[in-house]
Amino acid sequence: MISSPLITAVEVISLVGEAVFLDARVGPDATRAYETAHVSGAIHVDLETDLSEVGDPASGGRHPLPSLDVWLARLGAWGISPATPVIVYDGAGGGMAAARAWWMLRAIGHEPLAVVDGGWQALRDAGVPTESGDASASPVGSYPRKVDRWPVVNAALVERVRTDPSWRVIDARAPERFTGQWEPLDPAGGHIPGAHNLYWQSQLDNDGVLESCTTLRERYALILGSVSSERVVCYCGSGVTACHLLLAMEACGLSGAQLYVGSWSEWCRQGHPRAAG
């Protein structure tokens, strides 16, 4: 039924009523937008309260992951069991915050799972059934635990590998944030020394659809060279848009890249080396 990390809006139509849909749109108007219209039966997922927990940005970044037990219980409350097909979408081509939800589900071993390529706009254009108001979930028991911890890397590992030629560290933020010319969210600008920049939005075409795998593989090849995708660490500002790089890599057959969830918001607060330009 679901054979790729990405699914087209047209393919989604047959899954309405069969899969659990997660609406991961973000921003100050996200709740209102969801209540106005969403895929029929879709559950609203909040980046700040469902896909993150409150914490110290110096220890986990601005969007630290919730505990595994909390996440597994949340999935059960949404009616998600290991056999449940899950479709995630947002309003930004997967980067805010469908890819984060995708990564969190995949990290605990969930497999019938995909992100809608092109997101909410593509769904509307395809005529996918929608409704207004609030959808009600059909809770099941807490999702069975398959892993003991989140499969993330920490700042200590990034410090060890950032200059190792057999590894690659990739920053998903906008170029002006990477160079340190502009930093709207964190106390210091710049990037992790040794990191390469690949802005997550550069992976999308004008319609918010992911570029072809041929194009993306060529782009990643310029960064990776002969380095295996399993020795790639992706980060961003707070572990959200970096998941879009991981999604694109997985969709194009570049499996195994890892997430530094604390990302720049943690790194710059811990006194680690910083680079600019």
Determine the Cα–Cα distance for residues 242 and 158; give it in Å rounded to an integer.
14
Token pair belonging to 258: 């890892």
DSSP 191: B
Determine the Cα–Cα distance for residues 266 and 39; give it in Å rounded to an integer.
35
Determine the Cα–Cα distance for residues 255 and 248; give it in Å rounded to an integer.
10
Phi, psi of 184 (to 5 degrees): -85, -15
Half-sphere exposure at residue 143, Cβ-oriented, CA atoms within 13 angstroms: 26
* Residue 243 annotated to the active site: no
Contacts of 226 by beta carbon, 8 Å cutoff, 6+ apart: none
Query: Which of 234, 236, 243, 268 is an active site residue?
Result: 236
Q: Which residues are catalytic?
A: 236
